[in-house]
């Protein structure tokens, strides 16, 4: 169960490796299927645009299921995810002392923390986008569904490395018409321990149509060597579209 859902259910605390934790935040709105309605968000990369969105590879609400990008559809419940805004990292830490190490707070304290929960057809799965539980992520760790409510399912929105750009032109784009400038941001894992080259949500080599489907992972934040302004790899820049995909 996510941080938000636990509060809604009346649970004051729950166990973490760093101690008990209960927190509140603000639920954002959007969706992939009508059943998920206005409560879901569709995540996509700058590299592939909104034509390919975050997807549970097997469509099952099961711990350890890998996460991929898949063709956007308003009839695919495997694309139903809900953002939970947990507030600033520093505020989160002050409410729940010991949640993050001091280096993490010093580096990301003014950034926003979120959880991305899987809710197929609008049903709370108590599973979130994350890395292996109970340990700090390493480069190459696969992104998977894990029990919500620990640092491995928290992501930090890295506004300092955000990029503004247009979504790529793709064949048969979704009729949302979202071709206006979009802000893309890296998402840093909540277990990060390298504050110079943080580990961020990453789309690996390959394409969403490849078989087997490439699983998302975490990799060090990287910039294009030819870029004059230090532009982050477009496979590490993320945005989310709110509203039912049509």
**For residue 19, what pLDDT is reported?**
32
Q: Would residue 5 count as lying in a domain?
A: no
Q: Would residue 245 count as lying in a domain?
A: no
Q: Would residue 9 count as lying in a domain?
A: no
**For residue 220, what pLDDT is reported?**
98
**For residue 38, what pLDDT is reported?**
78
Q: Would residue 18 count as lying in a domain?
A: no
Range of the domain at 37: 25-239
Q: Would residue 1 count as lying in a domain?
A: no
The total number of structural domains in the chain stands at 1
Q: Would residue 16 count as lying in a domain?
A: no
Q: Would residue 15 count as lying in a domain?
A: no
| CATH assignment at residue 184 | 2.80.10.50
Q: Would residue 109 count as lying in a domain?
A: yes
**For residue 17, what pLDDT is reported?**
31
pLDDT in tens, 112-159: 999 999 999 999 999 999 999 999 999 999 999 999 999 999 999 999
Q: How would you write the chain as a 3-class SS string?
A: CCHHHHHHCCCCCECCCCCCECCCCEECCECCCCCCCCECEEEEECCCHHHEEEEECCCCCCCCCEEEEEECCCCCHHHCEEEEEEEEHHHHHHHCCCCCCHHHHHHHCCCEEEEEEECHHHCCCCEEEECCCCCCCCCCCECEEEECCCHHHCEEECHHHCEEECCCCCCCCCCCCCCCCEEEECEEECCCCCCCCCEEEECCCCCCCCCCCCCCEEEECCECCCCCCCCECHHHCEEEEECCCC
Low-confidence ranges of the chain (pLDDT < 70): 1-32, 166-180, 225-230, 245-246
């Amino acid at each position: 169960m996510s941080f938000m859902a636990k509060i809604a259910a009346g649970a004051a605390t729950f166990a973490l490796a760093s101690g008990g934790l209960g927190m509140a935040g603000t639920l954002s709105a959007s969706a992939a299927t009508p059943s998920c309605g206005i409560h879901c968000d569709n995540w996509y990369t700058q590299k592939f645009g909104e034509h390919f969105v975050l997807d549970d590879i097997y469509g099952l609400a099961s711990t350890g299921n890998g996460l991929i990008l898949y063709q956007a559809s308003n009839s695919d419940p495997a694309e139903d995810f809900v953002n939970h805004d947990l507030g600033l990292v520093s505020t989160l830490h002050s409410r729940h002392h010991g949640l993050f190490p001091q280096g993490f707070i010093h580096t990301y304290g003014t950034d926003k923390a979120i959880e991305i929960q899987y809710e197929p057809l609008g049903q709370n799965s108590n599973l979130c986008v994350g890395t292996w539980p109970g340990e700090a992520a390493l480069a190459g760790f696969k992104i998977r569904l894990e029990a919500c409510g620990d640092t491995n399912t928290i992501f930090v929105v890295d506004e300092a490395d955000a990029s503004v750009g247009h979504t790529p032109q793709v064949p048969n784009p979704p009729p949302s018409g979202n071709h206006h400038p979009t802000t893309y941001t890296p998402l840093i894992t909540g277990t990060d321990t390298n504050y110079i080259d943080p580990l961020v949500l990453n789309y690996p080599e390959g394409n969403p149509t490849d078989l087997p489907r490439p699983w998302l992972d975490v990799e060090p934040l990287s910039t294009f060597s030819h870029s004059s302004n230090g532009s982050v790899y477009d496979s590490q820049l993320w945005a989310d579209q709110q509203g039912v995909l049509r």
